[in-house]
Amino acid sequence: VRVRSKQGSAVALFNVTVNLNASALNKVSGDGQSAIIGTSFAQPLVVQVINAQSVGIPNATVTFNVVSGPATLSSATATTDSNGRASVNVTAGATDGTVLINASVTGFTTTFTLTVRLQGPNVTAAGIINGAGGQPGVVPGGIVTIYGTGIATGISGSITSGNVIGPLPLKLANVEVLFGATAAPIFNVSNVNGLESVTVQAPFELGAPGTVIVTVKVGGASTSVPNVPTVPLQPGLFETVNSNGLRYAVAIGDDGRYIGPGVGARPGEIVRVFVTGV
């Protein structure tokens, strides 16, 4: 501050320090996020330092530290801007779990809670198909096969529930499938020649035509596929492949024998074939 006499012959300079005392430290954004192990969280953690009049305090130093959990910070401190806001970026660690991060300034502390999750299976709408006919989409009550990666890692062949009579399991080989919020019974989880899949029965409660969110869970990881189309009808005929690679409908005679090459149907015999999506 410069002070000058009325005649202007005398001048005095004073240094004045204005102390803005913090009255609160508020979370602005970034809380409640989740990120896959080894990746950055999408949003920075942002706080605001305010005074008693709820005005942001600039040039205040905010300290950030990881209290617990697998994560690292871009910086241990950050200086507030003209609006009193400070931020840091967070990177998920190599393991899954809950992360607690404190932000502190002049005796005030606030805590952010983040989640580090495992990499979910790689599934798209194109890999969710009729379990017999192979058409994309879902029929209420129909059999659906979901193809992707990360579904049956470490499995060779197919794992089934082994139930001949009774309900199918809702979790098999650490895999679960949900249509919306409804868990689907699982027929098998397979990894055949590197092609991974899970086959389930879609809930009868699905509305069709329409769409549904399909979620595939493997262990603690999950992937959700939105806007999977549901259709009222989508017939698919179950088939088998012979040693020459030719495809035949699965057909059974009235005495229980399989009908196919070299085993024909008899005149007047009732032959059963198996379909889904009707």
DSSP 63-97: EEEEEESSEEES-SEEE--TTSEEEE-EEE-SS-E
The CA-to-CA distance between both ends of the chain, in Å, stands at 87
7 dihedral zone (left: phi>0; alpha: psi -120 to 50; beta): alpha
Question: What are the residues whose beta carbons fall under 8 Å from the beta carbon of 221, sequence distance 6 or more?
Answer: 96, 117, 118, 119, 120, 121, 150
Q: Is residue 103 classed as helix, strand or coil in its secondary structure? A: strand
Tens digit of pLDDT at every position of the chain (278 positions): 566 666 666 776 766 555 568 899 999 999 999 888 899 999 999 999 999 999 999 999 999 999 999 999 999 999 999 999 999 999 999 988 999 999 999 889 999 999 988 888 999 999 999 999 999 999 999 999 999 999 998 899 999 988 767 899 999 999 999 999 999 999 999 999 999 999 999 999 999 999 999 999 998 788 999 999 999 999 999 998 888 888 889 999 999 999 988 889 999 999 999 999 88
Q: What is the pLDDT of residue 19?
A: 55
pLDDT computed for residue 146 by the predictor: 97
pTM of the full predicted structure?
A: 0.62
Cβ-defined contacts of 250-259 (< 8 Å, 24+): 250/274
What the block records as the tokens of 240 is 């088998």
Q: How many CB atoms lie within 10 A of CB 140?
A: 19
